[in-house]
Amino acid sequence: MTDIIILSGSPSKHSRSQLAANFAGKLAADQGLTVKEISVTDFAPEDLIYARFDSPAIVEAGKAVSSAKGLIVASPVYKAAYTGVLKALLDLLPQNAFKNTPVLPIMTGGSPAHLLAIDYALKPLIANLKGESLQGVYLCDHHINKENPDQPVADEETGVRIKTQTNQLVEAIRRNHPVSAVK
């Protein structure tokens, strides 16, 4: 069982939101947790568009997400919300896929104008899936350096926020699963 699953909702293979989520995942891995990424790009577009609940890849993703101890859900902001392809994937997961699971929402956008997309779009979706959302982190595109994937957060204050939120995710996992603290 993987401790943390990263759900990357960007249709781009090399996106800023994916870099930010992977950075948070690396911070958690540095604390001894196992991390696995599931990206919307891992699935056949037909499985997502035609809502193929029985697709082996979708079924496997649903099992991985449901058994994870924590989640990181990342998406760029599209039209003041998360991506449609992320919604398509989440629609195919079991209804209680996030049940009692701490979730770190991460969103990226071109300007601070979309800061509330986490609160008004992503957090309600996480709640609908029965997840326990953390505050979350919104990053402006210019705070992410795509040329440095190991340390992509170029803004110090934003780096502190993502580290703080990742630490809260790790603490929540260890509180919910005391055996993890032995690692």
User: What pLDDT is stored for residue 115 in this prediction?
Assistant: 86
User: What pLDDT is stored for residue 156 in this prediction?
Assistant: 93
Distance CA 24, CA 28 (A): 6
User: What pLDDT is stored for residue 124 in this prediction?
Assistant: 96
Distance CA 1, CA 183 (A): 14
Best CATH choice for the domain 4-177 from the list 3.40.50.300, 3.40.50.360, 3.20.20.120, 3.20.20.100: 3.40.50.360
If you average pLDDT over every residue of the chain, what do you get?
94
Distance CA 146, CA 77 (A): 17
Q: Domain ranges for the chain, please list them.
A: 4-177
User: What pLDDT is stored for residue 132 in this prediction?
Assistant: 97
Q: What percent of the chain has pLDDT over 70?
A: 97
User: What pLDDT is stored for residue 42 in this prediction?
Assistant: 97
Nearest 5°: CA angle at 168, between 28 and 20?
50
The parts of the chain modelled with pLDDT lower than 50 are 180-183
User: What pLDDT is stored for residue 181 in this prediction?
Assistant: 47
